[in-house]
Amino acid sequence: MDFIKIRFGDDFDQLGSKFEKTIEEMFRSVGPMFNCSECSWKPQMDMYETAREIIILAEIAGVRKEDLELEISSKAIKICGRRKDLPEMEKGTYRLAEIQYGHFERFLFLSAPVDTEKVTALYSNGYLKITLPKMLSDKTHKIPITEG
Protein backbone atom coordinates (compact mmCIF):
# COMPACT_ATOMS: atom_id res chain seq x y z
CA MET A 1 0.00 0.00 0.00
CA ASP A 2 1.36 3.44 -0.94
CA PHE A 3 0.99 6.42 1.35
CA ILE A 4 0.71 10.17 0.93
CA LYS A 5 3.36 12.00 2.96
CA ILE A 6 1.86 13.67 6.04
CA ARG A 7 4.12 15.78 8.22
CA PHE A 8 2.99 16.72 11.71
CA GLY A 9 4.11 19.85 13.48
CA ASP A 10 3.28 22.83 15.63
CA ASP A 11 4.37 25.45 13.10
CA PHE A 12 0.79 26.49 12.46
CA ASP A 13 -0.12 26.94 16.13
CA GLN A 14 1.59 30.31 16.36
CA LEU A 15 -0.68 31.67 13.64
CA GLY A 16 -3.82 31.15 15.71
CA SER A 17 -7.03 29.36 14.86
CA LYS A 18 -9.33 32.39 14.85
CA PHE A 19 -8.56 33.13 11.22
CA GLU A 20 -10.88 31.40 8.80
CA LYS A 21 -9.10 32.57 5.68
CA THR A 22 -6.17 30.84 4.13
CA ILE A 23 -2.76 32.43 4.64
CA GLU A 24 -2.58 33.12 0.93
CA GLU A 25 -5.84 35.10 0.95
CA MET A 26 -4.83 36.98 4.09
CA PHE A 27 -1.47 38.05 2.68
CA ARG A 28 -2.91 38.89 -0.74
CA SER A 29 -5.09 41.55 0.87
CA VAL A 30 -2.01 43.18 2.43
CA GLY A 31 -0.17 43.56 -0.84
CA PRO A 32 0.98 41.76 -3.96
CA MET A 33 4.51 41.29 -2.62
CA PHE A 34 3.15 38.56 -0.33
CA ASN A 35 1.80 36.42 -3.17
CA CYS A 36 3.44 33.05 -3.62
CA SER A 37 5.63 33.58 -6.66
CA GLU A 38 6.18 29.85 -7.08
CA CYS A 39 2.48 28.93 -6.95
CA SER A 40 0.98 28.71 -10.39
CA TRP A 41 -2.49 27.35 -9.68
CA LYS A 42 -5.00 26.91 -6.90
CA PRO A 43 -7.01 23.67 -6.81
CA GLN A 44 -10.67 23.83 -5.88
CA MET A 45 -11.43 22.55 -2.38
CA ASP A 46 -14.46 21.87 -0.22
CA MET A 47 -14.27 21.76 3.57
CA TYR A 48 -17.23 20.57 5.61
CA GLU A 49 -17.75 19.53 9.17
CA THR A 50 -19.77 17.03 11.17
CA ALA A 51 -20.06 16.71 14.92
CA ARG A 52 -17.04 14.39 14.99
CA GLU A 53 -14.79 15.36 12.07
CA ILE A 54 -13.72 17.89 9.46
CA ILE A 55 -13.55 16.69 5.86
CA ILE A 56 -11.50 18.38 3.13
CA LEU A 57 -12.02 17.38 -0.49
CA ALA A 58 -9.50 18.71 -3.01
CA GLU A 59 -9.97 18.44 -6.77
CA ILE A 60 -6.46 17.73 -8.07
CA ALA A 61 -6.82 15.63 -11.21
CA GLY A 62 -3.55 14.93 -12.95
CA VAL A 63 -1.45 15.22 -9.79
CA ARG A 64 0.39 12.03 -8.94
CA LYS A 65 0.06 10.84 -5.35
CA GLU A 66 3.85 10.91 -5.08
CA ASP A 67 3.76 14.66 -5.84
CA LEU A 68 1.44 15.48 -2.90
CA GLU A 69 2.41 16.51 0.60
CA LEU A 70 0.33 17.34 3.68
CA GLU A 71 1.47 19.14 6.82
CA ILE A 72 -0.89 19.35 9.75
CA SER A 73 -1.18 20.73 13.24
CA SER A 74 -4.22 20.61 15.51
CA LYS A 75 -5.36 23.99 14.10
CA ALA A 76 -4.31 24.17 10.43
CA ILE A 77 -3.36 22.14 7.38
CA LYS A 78 -1.04 22.79 4.44
CA ILE A 79 -1.73 20.93 1.21
CA CYS A 80 0.85 21.23 -1.56
CA GLY A 81 1.90 19.42 -4.67
CA ARG A 82 2.78 19.69 -8.32
CA ARG A 83 0.96 18.89 -11.54
CA LYS A 84 3.58 18.20 -14.17
CA ASP A 85 3.30 19.85 -17.58
CA LEU A 86 2.23 17.70 -20.46
CA PRO A 87 4.57 17.70 -23.44
CA GLU A 88 3.65 20.40 -25.97
CA MET A 89 2.00 19.33 -29.17
CA GLU A 90 4.53 19.58 -32.00
CA LYS A 91 2.32 19.96 -35.06
CA GLY A 92 -0.62 22.10 -34.11
CA THR A 93 -1.88 25.32 -32.65
CA TYR A 94 -3.57 25.62 -29.29
CA ARG A 95 -7.08 27.04 -29.61
CA LEU A 96 -7.80 26.71 -25.90
CA ALA A 97 -5.39 26.17 -22.98
CA GLU A 98 -7.12 26.29 -19.60
CA ILE A 99 -5.51 23.46 -17.65
CA GLN A 100 -3.07 24.83 -15.09
CA TYR A 101 0.21 23.14 -14.27
CA GLY A 102 3.02 23.55 -11.79
CA HIS A 103 3.26 23.91 -8.03
CA PHE A 104 0.30 24.62 -5.76
CA GLU A 105 0.08 25.31 -2.05
CA ARG A 106 -2.98 25.85 0.15
CA PHE A 107 -3.16 26.70 3.86
CA LEU A 108 -6.49 26.11 5.59
CA PHE A 109 -7.33 26.98 9.18
CA LEU A 110 -9.52 24.43 10.94
CA SER A 111 -12.69 25.40 12.81
CA ALA A 112 -11.92 23.05 15.71
CA PRO A 113 -8.82 21.31 17.10
CA VAL A 114 -8.24 17.92 15.48
CA ASP A 115 -6.50 14.75 16.60
CA THR A 116 -3.46 14.77 14.30
CA GLU A 117 -2.64 11.14 15.03
CA LYS A 118 -5.92 9.92 13.54
CA VAL A 119 -5.94 11.94 10.29
CA THR A 120 -6.44 9.91 7.09
CA ALA A 121 -5.92 10.88 3.46
CA LEU A 122 -7.33 9.02 0.43
CA TYR A 123 -6.55 9.86 -3.19
CA SER A 124 -8.94 8.47 -5.78
CA ASN A 125 -10.13 9.53 -9.24
CA GLY A 126 -8.48 12.97 -9.05
CA TYR A 127 -9.84 13.82 -5.59
CA LEU A 128 -7.90 13.99 -2.34
CA LYS A 129 -10.13 13.36 0.68
CA ILE A 130 -8.66 14.27 4.06
CA THR A 131 -10.57 13.20 7.17
CA LEU A 132 -9.62 15.05 10.35
CA PRO A 133 -11.23 13.65 13.53
CA LYS A 134 -12.00 16.38 16.05
CA MET A 135 -10.49 16.30 19.52
CA LEU A 136 -13.20 15.13 21.85
CA SER A 137 -13.55 17.27 24.94
CA ASP A 138 -16.40 15.71 26.85
CA LYS A 139 -14.73 16.56 30.15
CA THR A 140 -16.08 19.32 32.32
CA HIS A 141 -13.83 21.10 34.72
CA LYS A 142 -14.84 22.86 37.91
CA ILE A 143 -12.92 26.07 38.37
CA PRO A 144 -12.34 27.22 41.95
CA ILE A 145 -13.13 30.85 42.62
CA THR A 146 -10.72 32.68 44.85
CA GLU A 147 -11.20 35.93 46.69
CA GLY A 148 -9.23 38.88 45.42
pLDDT confidence of residue 139: 65
Instruction: Report d(CA 71, CA 83) in Å as an integer.
Output: 18
**Predicted confidence (pLDDT) per residue in 72-114, tens digit:** 988 899 999 999 987 777 788 878 888 889 999 999 999 999 9
Q: What percent of the chain has pLDDT over 70?
A: 72
If you write DSSP's letter for every residue of 52-63 in order, what string do you get?
SEEEEEEE-TT-
pLDDT confidence of residue 144: 82
Instruction: Report d(CA 123, CA 109) in Å as an integer.
Output: 21
Residue 40's pLDDT band (boundaries 50, 70, 90)?
A: confident
Instruction: Report d(CA 56, CA 46) in Å as an integer.
Output: 6
Instruction: Report d(CA 57, CA 127) in Å as an integer.
Output: 7
- For residues 24-40, average pLDDT: 49
- Rounded to two decimals, what is the model's pTM? 0.67
Instruction: Report d(CA 124, CA 61) in Å as an integer.
Output: 9
**Predicted confidence (pLDDT) per residue in 124-134, tens digit:** 999 999 999 99
Could you give phi then psi for residue 16, rounded to 5 degrees?
A: 90, 150
pLDDT confidence of residue 145: 85
| Structural domains present in the chain | 5-85+99-133 (2.60.40.790)
**Predicted confidence (pLDDT) per residue in 67-76, tens digit:** 999 999 888 9
What residues are paired with 104 via a beta bridge?
81
